[in-house]
A and B are shown apart, each in its own frame.
Chain A
Amino acid sequence: MSRKLRRWISWLVALTALLMGISLLSLSIGAVQIPFRKTMFLLLQKIFLWRIFPLESSPASVILFRIRVPRLILGIVVGASLSSAGVIFQGMFRNPLVEPYTLGVSGGAAVAVCLAIMGGLSHLIPLAGFVGAIAAVILVYFIASSGGRLAIPTLLLTGVIVSFFSSSLIMLLMSLSKTEELHGIMFWIMGNLQETDLTLTLVVSIALLAGIFLALLFVRDLNALSLGEEEAVHLGIEVEKVKKILFLLASFLTGLSVSVSGIIGFVGLMIPHFVRGLISPDHRILLPASALFGATFLVGADLVARTVASPQELPVGVITGIAGGIIFVCIIRRRKMEFKW
């Protein structure tokens, strides 16, 4: 086994352990404290022994399996998806400032969610978000592509313009909405992981995981693309095809995440930078490591959001922004990863 492979595997093991640690922590801490040993016991019972000993319907078990576990799963897949989308976009655009929301996906989702809330269709928020996101992606794609080719600078510019356009639309809608609608819109835009529909959580989680695994098939192509499009052609990559697949895949990951959790900022921008500086710019490790790290970061941020002002719950998007910003500035100040991206 090569030294590089050993190093990569160590990182993946360490990050997985970190994610599991923070997950267990977030399952036992909350408005109702469930002792750590009880959490472990209930989990093991649920996983291995549920056929033999039916689960007691104690308050602890209800809180754990009806609220915290679904929320944890959502945090993991959304964190992982946003980070993966960030890695893909930054890699294919070769631009350090690109993040999953740059291409207008979040803007489209937000406009649709505003309309749903104002139309009294609050129960359809996830669907509206997803439809809005996909509409934005399709719009950007068709404006930016010409003659079957997707020019990267045009794509980027179109995305930014669609984002600005939808921000203005959101402002307009907010200025027209009633106070309680406004509150709902604000809450959604700030991002949260409080999806209560268990089936929806499950379906979205499976779809997002599938998307991440699909993205893992393109790490070699991302390495080539990060050298430039022509260089990628010279290295034998079918660039036009791969670009379209990656664009759609990253947009799908972003759009679906946004539809269930609102706009959780900074994860998709910061985590890839962080992992690139910490481990390697090689996408074969960058993508899986960023997914694990993003999941850990979002679960941790959600834990803070739930507990720091308890019983009041803060929007997790606010925490990721504040915490992420501070951490990132500290790292840059320590000059450990100066322009190492």
Chain B
Amino acid sequence: MHHQKKEDGVQVVKMKDEILLEMEDLWSGYQRKDVLKGVSLKIKKGEFLGLIGPNGSGKTTLLRSMSKILTPRRGKVLYRGKDIAKISAKKLAQRIAVVPQLSVFTFSFTVEDFVLLGRIPYLPRFYLERKEDYLAAEEAMRLTKTLSFRERRINELSEGEKQRVVIARSLAQNPELLLLDEPAAHLDIRYQLEVFNLLRQLNQEKGITIVLVSHDLNLASQYASRLVLVNGGKIFSEGRPSEVITEENIQKVYKVRVRITQDEEGNPVVNIDHRAICLG
């Protein structure tokens, strides 16, 4: 499952054709307005899926439908063939974890206590964490390199550290599927890379399936094994990054004319500079 082998798409798909999440003709949105207008998508185990698309296209709505925050108006979301509406919130939280774009830290938990909150789906009503919960939290902190400041209070940390702690909390849930909504949006480039490298490591070493909403087309195409381009509540294009990120697609969806080059690994690179042209 090495990334250099991405060219060999057929083989990769064969290795992971166990379907984790499936949406068929999904319509969903807020109040009376549908944002998603018939989305069908299959997410396979072990994938690193990037959801891209312009603002308001429905990426986040799609993500929120996958995590049961939104109830679809039509269609279903199936987790391993079972309608998630029929899976209890607790059971689902033991399988799917979510990293929000921005977390608000109202209460100043220590880092360790905050990560331990990720064990809530495993705890009986009034129980304290057991040994296994501490072990899971410690492993999550080790992976995210947050162990060294486990005793510090979370609102004293830098933004990059905070986001790693939030990811640690979601890992403490021991998920099979990790959903992330622009986890690096407000981080500087170093922290962005750290977050993406961490996600790649989790994907490759722990086999965690990752679905990531991102506005950064270049990071998304370098890290994701498959991209889904959403536009107007529908899937506009999906496939390997080089198939999705084309000058034609970007022009149609984002209304911007850009030059696209390739890096050494054959991944598309969108050149967003002054030569790009915004169209009407």
Which A residues are within 8 Å of any B CB, using their own CB? 2, 4-5, 94-96, 216-217, 219-220, 223-224, 226-228, 230-231, 233-238, 276, 280-282, 284, 339-341
Contacts of A284 in B (CB 8 A): 126, 128
B89 near A220: Cβ-Cβ < 8 Å = no
B93 near A236: Cβ-Cβ < 8 Å = yes
Interface flag for B92 (CB, 8 Å):
yes
Interface flag for B123 (CB, 8 Å):
yes
A164 to B153, CA, bound (A): 37
A238 to B91, CA, bound (A): 11
Contacts of A226 in B (CB 8 A): 106-107
Per-residue CB contact flags for chain B residues 73-96 toward chain A (1 = under 8 Å, else 0) read: 000000000000000111111101
Q: Which 9 A-B pairs have the closest CB atoms?
A: A236-B93, A236-B90, A281-B107, A236-B121, A94-B106, A234-B98, A235-B120, A236-B89, A340-B108
A194 to B103, CA, bound (A): 46
- In the complex, which residue of chain A has the Cβ closest to the Cβ of B105? A227
A282 to B154, CA, bound (A): 13
B104 near A94: Cβ-Cβ < 8 Å = yes
A217 to B117, CA, bound (A): 16
A220 to B122, CA, bound (A): 11
Q: Could you show 6 A-B contacts with beta carbons less than 8 Å apart?
A: A217-B126, A219-B126, A230-B64, A234-B67, A237-B120, A281-B107
A2 near B121: Cβ-Cβ < 8 Å = no
Which one, A96, A223, A231, contacts B100 given CB within 8 A? A231
Which B residues are within 8 Å of any A CB, using their own CB? 64, 67-69, 88-94, 96-98, 100, 103-104, 106-109, 113, 117-118, 120-121, 123, 125-126, 128-129, 134, 153, 155, 170, 173
Given A4-B128, A227-B117: A235 and B104 within 8 A (CB)? Answer: no
Given A223-B117, A284-B128: A233 and B89 within 8 A (CB)? Answer: yes
- In the complex, which residue of chain B has the Cβ closest to the Cβ of A96? B106
Contacts of A233 in B (CB 8 A): 67-69, 89
A223 near B120: Cβ-Cβ < 8 Å = yes
A95 to B104, CA, bound (A): 12
Given A282-B113, A340-B153: A235 and B106 within 8 A (CB)? Answer: no
A217 near B125: Cβ-Cβ < 8 Å = yes
A234 near B128: Cβ-Cβ < 8 Å = no
Given A233-B67, A236-B120, A238-B89: A227 and B103 within 8 A (CB)? Answer: yes
Given A217-B126, A236-B91: A341 and B107 within 8 A (CB)? Answer: yes
Q: How far is the CB of B19 from chain A (nearest CB, A)?
A: 22
A223 to B107, CA, bound (A): 10
Q: How far is the CB of A149 from chain B (nearest CB, A)?
A: 11
Contacts of A340 in B (CB 8 A): 108, 153
A216 to B121, CA, bound (A): 18
Contacts of A236 in B (CB 8 A): 88-94, 120-121
